[in-house]
Structure 1
C-alpha cells in the first residue's frame, strides 16, 4: 500500500514543479558550516525510511500461533494461492495495519506477553522465558483422537492416570479432531515435562534466530543514530524520516520484549484428551461487555485500548488462540505493562512535533500535521492517567475515592470516544510525510559527513 502510494507521488514529482529538486547537484546545495557537501537522493531517503518502517511493522512483529485445520482434499489452486492469500488477508495484513497505525498497542502487547511469560517460567521448573512465550502464544493445542482409536493414559507421579492420553492404532493424524488451545492452568507440570519441547527444539520452531534479530535491531538503531547525527549538524530531517524515527524508537523496545519469543510458529504441539471436558473450572468466566450493541462496542474499544480484551474471551470456545492474546494478568500487572508503552506512546507523538515548524507545501497540510501531533500526544497521555491510577494500591487514595472514580470514568470515556481521532492522525501524518517528498528543502539532500564526529588533528 505504501509502496503504491509512494510510486504514484514519485511519478507525479517527475512531471511537476518539484522536478528540479530531485536532480540537485552538489554544486546547487547550500553550505552548512565547515562540513563538506555530500549529496543524497530522494530515492535513498525513501528507501532508508520505508525499509526501516517495514522492519518495524512486519519483521519485528511476533504473532501468536495461527492454527488452522488441515484439509487433505485441497487442490493445487487452493494450496498454492487461495490458502496463502486467506492467511495473508485474515491475519498478517491485519497485524501489519495494527503495527502501522497503532504501534504503541503492539508494544503494549509485547510487554504484557513478556510479563506473563516470566510468570509461567517461574511456575514450571527448568523452563525458560521462551517456553512461557510458547505457552501463551498457543503453542499447545488440544486434540481428540478418532473414536475407535486405542489410547494409553499418561501416568502422573503418583501413578494415577492423567486426563491426557497417548493415542495409538493405525490411523491418519488428519482424522484427529482439533478442539482448542491449552493454557498453563489446564495441564499439570508433570505432563508438561513429558510433552514440552526442549530449548533447542523451541528455537527450531521459530523462523528467525538471534543473528537475524540482531541485524534488524542494528539496522533500526543505525537509522536512529543517523537522525541524531543530522540534528547535531543542523541538517533538516524530512517528515518521512521523522515518522520513521518514531517507529524505530518504539521498535527498539518491542524487540527487547519479544527477543525470546519464537516467531511465525505455525504448528503447535498436540496433546490429546478423549473426553469432552477441556478446561478445569478454576478461574472466572469471560467478562460480558454489555447488553446492547452500543455499550458492547464502547467497552470492547476500551478493553482493547487498556489491554483487558482477554477477559472477555473463553479459550474453550475458540479454535485458535486470539490474535492479541497475552494471558489474563492481574489488574496491577496489566496496568503496569500498559503504563510504560503508554508513556512511550506520548513520546511517539512528541517526536512528530520535531516537524512542527517545518515548511509544508500548503497551509492545510501544516494544520493537519499540527492537529495530528496533538492527538497522537494527548490521547496516549489519557491512557497514562488511567494506568497510573490503576497502579495505585487499594486504600491509598480512599479520601479521594469519588474524585478518583470520576477521573477514571472521564478518562475512559474520552479514550474510547477519541480512538478514531488517533488513527486518523496516524493516517494523516503518513500521507503528509509522503506528499512532502515533492518539495523537500535543499538541506534535506545533504548527507552527514561522519569524519566530523571522529577526533583528529
Structure 2
C-alpha cells in the first residue's frame, strides 16, 4: 500500500511557537474554537423536564451532555435532525389537508419538541407531538391551538447571533483550509476533524432552521373529552389501555418505526446499552401510569414514514463524512505510519458498524414475524418489537459491542487529532501567503 508522502517529510517536534509562524497554539485555538461553536450552537433540543428548566446550571449541564453527544456522534445528529425535519414537513401537509394551512413547519417543530401539552379532565397533563395533535383536532377532541408564528419566535431564546458567528467562523476556517490546499501546504489531522464537524453543522443548521432554539415554556390546552372515552372510541378498552401505554395514552396514534429509518435502531441500541434494565413508569397511586412530561430528543417517527430520497441522502452523507477523513488523510501530516493506519482503521470501523446497522434492520424486519413466534410466541412486524421483548442482559450482549466499538474508534480519531501535533510536517506551521493565493481565486 502506498503511504501518503507527508509521512516521509521532515517533522517538527514538540510545541511550536507562533511568533513568526502559525504555531501550535494558533492551530489548537482555531480548531477547538470552531468545534465548540459547531457542537454548541447547532443543538436545538426538545424542551427538558421541569427540574432541568428550574435551575440554570442543570440546563447547562443538560446541554453540555448533548454537546458531548454531538462531538462523538455528529453524523448521527445530522440524521436525527433530517428525520425531525421530515416529520415537521409531513405534519404541515397533514394539517393543510385538514383545512389548517396556517399550521407551518415551525408549529410542527414546536409540537414535536414537547411544546404543546394537553390536559384531559380525567388524566394528568402530557405533551403531544404534531401527529397526535392532528388526531385530536381531526376527531373534534381539541380545537387547533391558537399559536402564531410570532408566539413561537418569542419563545426562542436565541436571536441568531450565535449561529451567525458560527457561520462566519466556519466560512473563514474553510477558506483558510482551501488556501492551504491551493498553496500546497500540509494539514494536520485536527484540521481534518474540524472540517468534518463543519460539514455536519451546516447540514444540521439547514434541517433545524425552523426549530426553536432552547425554548423553556410549554403551552397547556384543555381537552373537552376524557382520555377513557378517547381510548374507547379508538377501539381500545379505556382504563385498561391507560395501564399499558409506554410514553403517553396517545401512543397508539404513532406508527411503527419505518425500516428505512437509519436513526431509530441507533437510538434503541444506545438506550439498550445505557439502560438495559429500564422498567416502565410507575403507576400513579396504584391506578394509572405516569405519562411522560417531555418529548425525548431521540423519539422521531415521521407519520408517513421515511421517504426514499431522505434515506438515500442519509446514506450518501454517511459515506461522504467518513470519506472526508480518509481522503484528507493523504494530504495530512501524521507522526508515523502506525498512527496513519490507526486513523484509517478507526474511521473504517465506525463506517462498518453503521453499515452493519443499516443492513441488519431491513433484514431483521423481514424475519421479525418468524423471530417473534419462535422466541416469544408473539406477532411482530418490526425487528424492534422483538428486540424490545428481549431481557436486559440480551440487549446489552447484542448492542454493547457495537456501541463500545463505535465509541472507542471515534475516541481514537479524536485523540489522534490532537496527539498528531506532537510531530508534524514543517509546512503545517507555514502561514498562507494570501498575496499569492488571491490570484488563484
- The number of equivalent residue pairs is 357
Match of 2:317 among 313, 329, 344: 344
What is the aligned partner in structure 2 of residue 23 from structure 1? 17
What is the aligned partner in structure 2 of residue 324 from structure 1? 298
Q: Does the CA-based 8 Å contact 1:142-1:182 persist in structure 2?
A: yes
Match of 2:49 among 61, 67, 86: 67
Do the aligned partners of residues 332 and 195 (structure 1) sit closer, same or farther apart at CA in structure 2, a change above 3 Å counting? closer
What is the aligned partner in structure 2 of residue 33 from structure 1? none
Structure 1: tracts of 5 or more residues without a match: 1-16, 27-38, 72-78, 145-162, 165-176, 289-300, 391-404, 406-412
Match of 1:115 among 55, 75, 86: 86
Do the aligned partners of residues 49 and 130 (structure 1) sit closer, same or farther apart at CA in structure 2, a change above 3 Å counting? same
CA distance in 2, matches of 1:283, 1:139: 28
TM-score by length of 1: 0.66
Deviation at 1:210, TM superposition (A): 4.3
What is the aligned partner in structure 2 of residue 434 from structure 1? 418
RMSD: 4.3
What is the aligned partner in structure 1 of residue 126 from structure 2? 180
What is the aligned partner in structure 1 of residue 266 from structure 2? 305
Q: Does the CA-based 8 Å contact 2:180-2:432 persist in structure 1?
A: yes
Deviation at 1:376, TM superposition (A): 2.8
Superposed CA deviations along residues 393-445 of structure 1, whole A, max 9, x for unmatched, are xxxxxxxxxxxx9xxxxxxx998853422221111111111122222222111
Report the 3-state secondary structure (helix = DSSP H, G, I; strand = E; otherwise coil) of the residue aligned with 1:188. helix
CA distance in 2, matches of 1:389, 1:332: 17
Do the aligned partners of residues 283 and 319 (structure 1) sit closer, same or farther apart at CA in structure 2, a change above 3 Å counting? farther
What is the 5 A alignment of 1:362-401? 362=336, 364-383=338-357
What is the aligned partner in structure 2 of residue 169 from structure 1? none
Do the aligned partners of residues 278 and 95 (structure 1) sit closer, same or farther apart at CA in structure 2, a change above 3 Å counting? farther
Superposed CA deviations along residues 296-351 of structure 1, whole A, max 9, x for unmatched, are xxxxx9944278999x9999731221132224444443x75454233222222222
What is the aligned partner in structure 2 of residue 201 from structure 1? 151
CA distance in 1, matches of 2:143, 2:31: 46
Q: Does the CA-based 8 Å contact 2:18-2:25 persist in structure 1?
A: no
What is the 5 A alignment of 1:240-251? 240-251=190-201
TM-score by length of 2: 0.68
Do the aligned partners of residues 342 and 286 (structure 1) sit closer, same or farther apart at CA in structure 2, a change above 3 Å counting? farther
CA distance in 2, matches of 1:97, 1:278: 42
Q: Does the CA-based 8 Å contact 1:112-1:338 persist in structure 2?
A: no
Structure 2: tracts of 5 or more residues without a match: 1-11, 96-100, 237-243, 248-261, 272-277, 282-288, 365-381, 383-396
Deviation at 1:113, TM superposition (A): 0.8
Do the aligned partners of residues 180 and 233 (structure 1) sit closer, same or farther apart at CA in structure 2, a change above 3 Å counting? same
